[in-house]
């Protein structure tokens, strides 16, 4: 197997998409199920004030998972993480995982006019004093493709085109600033989680 940890490996090379890993019927079920529960505006953590707040405009909507949906998605997330590990870990470390745990998923909804602002994944909420570790991998699970806009982008010009049932993963650190462009038609449904 090719070792991608080489001097000529680019940051974009370490963004990986597992295509169609979430079954289509599960994607449909999740979109239908989340429609029955309340969505709230996304909030951002401010480390200076140790508080959460939402932007006044363009903010996407979010919703926590349920135990049932988490149980359905957990084996798929583990499978996607194992594929990432197999592709990117150093050859001597491919038998062990670069991550051991991951957060519960959070569902994201992008209706027309909503975005995810440009940011980096410094996820403070993972660690509550009991859990300890270093966030190593960000996941986005994409549940549909019948929308326009709402594109995941990195830096200024790299777009990760996602289809229905895809999971994209990348290292959770300052080298991977990213955002989601404005949704222009239809509604995009996705979820996020982070591994350590």
For the stretch 23-41, pLDDT in tens is 999 999 999 999 999 999 9
pLDDT at residue 4 greater than cutoff 60: yes
Mean pLDDT (whole number) for 2-31? 89
Angle (CA) 19-24-26 rounded to 5° is 115
Q: 117 φ, ψ to 5°?
A: -65, 150
| Residue with more model confidence, 125 or 57 | 57
| Count of alpha carbons within 13 angstroms of residue 190, beta-carbon side | 26
In this prediction, residue 87 carries a pLDDT of: 86
Global pTM reads 0.91
Mean pLDDT (whole number) for 174-179? 96
Residues 6 or more apart in contact with residue 103 via CB below 8 angstroms: 123, 126, 193, 194, 195
In this prediction, residue 1 carries a pLDDT of: 43
Distance CA 146, CA 150 (A): 11
Tens-place pLDDT, residues 78-112: 999 999 998 887 666 555 677 889 999 999 999 99
């Amino acid at each position: 197997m090719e070792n991608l940890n080489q001097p000529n490996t680019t940051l974009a090379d370490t963004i990986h998409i597992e295509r169609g890993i979430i079954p289509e019927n599960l994607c449909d079920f999740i979109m239908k199920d989340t429609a029955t529960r309340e969505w709230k505006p996304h909030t951002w953590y401010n480390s200076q004030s140790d508080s959460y707040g939402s932007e006044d405009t363009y903010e996407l909507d979010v919703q926590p998972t349920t135990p049932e949906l988490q149980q359905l998605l957990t084996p798929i997330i583990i499978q996607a993480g194992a594929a990432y590990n197999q592709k990117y870990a150093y050859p001597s470390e491919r038998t062990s995982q670069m991550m051991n745990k991951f957060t519960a998923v959070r569902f994201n909804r992008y209706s027309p006019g909503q975005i995810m602002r440009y940011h980096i994944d410094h996820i403070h909420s993972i660690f509550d004093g009991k859990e300890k570790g270093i966030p190593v991998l960000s996941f986005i699970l994409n549940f549909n493709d019948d929308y326009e806009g709402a594109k995941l982008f990195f830096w200024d010009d790299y777009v990760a085109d996602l289809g229905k049932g895809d999971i994209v993963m990348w290292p959770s650190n300052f080298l991977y600033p990213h955002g989601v462009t404005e949704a222009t038609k239809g509604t995009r449904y996705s979820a996020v989680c982070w591994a350590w």
